[in-house]
Amino acid sequence: KGGFNQCVVVEGGTQAWAQLLVPRRMPGLPEGLSGWQLQRPAKACLSYVIGVPGHGCVVVDPARFPDPYVELATEHGMTIKYVVDTHVHADHVTGGPALADAVGATYSVPIEDTGGATPFPNDPLEDGQTLDLGPIQLEVLGIKMPGHTPGTTCLLVPGHALLSGDTVFVRGVGRPDLTGKADELARELYHSVHEKLRPLDPATQVFPAHWSSAEEMGTDGL
């Protein structure tokens, strides 16, 4: 009495649920560039693969399970050339260093978030740096986006898409209080949003690293 009317058994149990990544094709990218948002329902995390089929791609904010990214890239004939964490994640373990090591890619995480050093190879992205994916280049937003963390770095496909990490979400902004510098980072987050994000082309779609509820998703699942 008072129990569940319907129960669902997930094949593989809780471990399979924790590792589930659901790829969704990203709309509105320039011709020749393809992208996928990989949704992790167990933690409401979002990661991304963007690249040129037949050439190179970049994986952004990967979960700690590398196989889905490798399989997706292979399916479309892409070589994973770059693996990027927009920031150090406080709520989940990144698979970035392990994925980069497994495929021989360049790994990047903001040095401001790591205390100045990492126990693994790290080539932090510079302001204005472009990632060579082949015939089309993916441009890194030409400024750091501090606020959620001191070194947060967003990726921009100019006029088309911004991978915002935890800087902005569908219904709000990232928390500035996770590093013990809430006042300082709250000010930086304000300036990042008003001085760096606001001037972007209004047609730019924002793809964050998290969602809070299914109500935030459109009819296409994104």
Written as six digits, the tokens of 212 are 């809070």
CB 167 within 8 A of CB 147: yes
pLDDT, tens only, 204-215: 999 998 776 666
**Locate tokens 């990661």: which residue?**
47
pLDDT digits (tens, 9 = 90+) for 159-169: 999 998 888 87
66-100 pLDDT tens trace: 999 999 999 999 999 999 999 887 777 889 999 99
Q: Which helix (H) or strand (E) holds 156?
A: strand 155-157
H-assigned helices in the chain: 13-19, 67-75, 96-103, 182-191
- The radius of gyration of the chain's CA atoms, rounded to the nearest angstrom, is 17
The amino acid at residue 17 is: W
Tokens at 40, concatenated: 């992790």
CA nearest to 144, candidates 111, 120, 184: 111
pLDDT of residue 142: 55
Which stretches of the chain score pLDDT less than 70? 1-4, 141-145, 147, 212-222
Q: Is 13 exposed, middle or buried (0-12, 13-18, 19+ CB in 10 A)?
A: exposed
Question: Is the pTM for the entire model greater than 0.85?
Answer: yes
